[in-house]
Copies of this chain bind each other. A is one copy, B any other.
Amino acid sequence: MPELRKDPITGRWVIISTDRAKRPMDFVRESVQIKGNANCPFCPGNEGKTPPEILAYGRNGSGKDTPGWSLRVVPNKFPALGIEGGLDRQGEGLFDRMNGVGAHEVIIETPDHKSTLATISDKSVEEVFWAYRDRMLDLKNDRRFRYILLFKNHGEAAGATVEHTHSQLIALPIVPKRVREEVDNSKHYYDEKERCIFCDMIRQEIETGTRMILENDYFIALAPYAPRFPFETWILPRQHSSAFENMPAPYYGSLARILRDFLARLDSVLAFPSYNYVIHTSPMGEEINDHYHWHIEMMPKLTKVAGFEWGTGFYINPTPPEEAARFLRESRP
């Protein structure tokens, strides 16, 4: 008998197929293979192919937009939003619009074209998280913005158009709906119980154990109770922490280690899948709070999403999270 499960944070129900559960080898998918590209705009030596850099780490005296960096942040050459101008909020009868003002940046995670987040050093992954933080703090000075979204598309099937490993940042003048829902629902829970719903969930998951994937000093990785996708994984700080960019310094290294360990296991269990991840953190202006717990949501791209899912916000997941967690927990990359 399949199961219907409800995610306590969003209120979303999902169908979990328990009978004919799909195991890692049942998914038809393409492994992400890095082909290499002499004209890659993200490779050292090709700095002129991107807009002028916003931030770089690792330079020892070399000039802006020249090689010598270990990580580099540049504006997206084809931005979804424009950085100039006012919002010009307007009504059109029933409808609301504003100018598409925002920042759209690319974090080039390493100079090495052949690497992925799973194969670069812990130290390099840590640099990526510091870069996320530095860019968030800088963009928060711009009063037009309400939310800064950090995400990564890995592999063509997950929407990556350049294969050189990179993440993206989008600063938005509105709070996206899914984030607003999570924050509001967790606030509602807190108002009722005086406890963070994520902290409660983490406590219960550590006790239950069946959906735990990894834990280290400051973080845990778990398969959520009601995942939308096979092998969906959340990485959360163990202790309450409402904003990614306000984490204590030692957390960045700890996060890098758990993410890298997780990604190596994912590559091993699912044969180098495409994936997306996204950071959910508190909106600007409400960073310090007791109810929202920032986290990473990681979604390997293994299934097609069809009309049923689009039309309803209701997902059919062929892999129970307990099985996904066990495969990842027991893998030895």
Q: Which residues of A contact B (CB under 8 A)?
A: 1-6, 8, 10-13, 15-18, 20, 78, 80-82, 85, 92-101, 149, 151-153, 157-160, 168, 170, 172-174, 176-179, 181, 197, 200-201, 204, 208, 225-226, 276-280, 297, 299, 304-308, 310-314, 316
Contacts and interface: CB of A to CB of B under 8 A. Distances in A.
23 contacts: A1-B99, A1-B100, A3-B100, A5-B97, A8-B96, A92-B225, A93-B204, A93-B208, A149-B308, A149-B314, A151-B306, A153-B306, A159-B305, A159-B306, A172-B314, A176-B312, A176-B314, A181-B313, A276-B310, A277-B311, A278-B311, A280-B311, A299-B307
Contacts of A95: 5-6, 8, 225-226
A170 B4 CA distance: 13
A13 B310 CA distance: 16
B13 A177 contact: yes
B316 A297 contact: no
Q: Which 5 residue pairs across A and B have the least CB separation, nearest first?
A: A278-B311, A159-B306, A276-B307, A2-B100, A176-B312
Given A1-B85, A12-B177, A177-B11, A158 B306 contact: yes
Contacts of A159: 304-308
A135 to B, nearest CB: 16
A5 B158 contact: no
B2 A81 contact: yes
A74 to B, nearest CB: 18
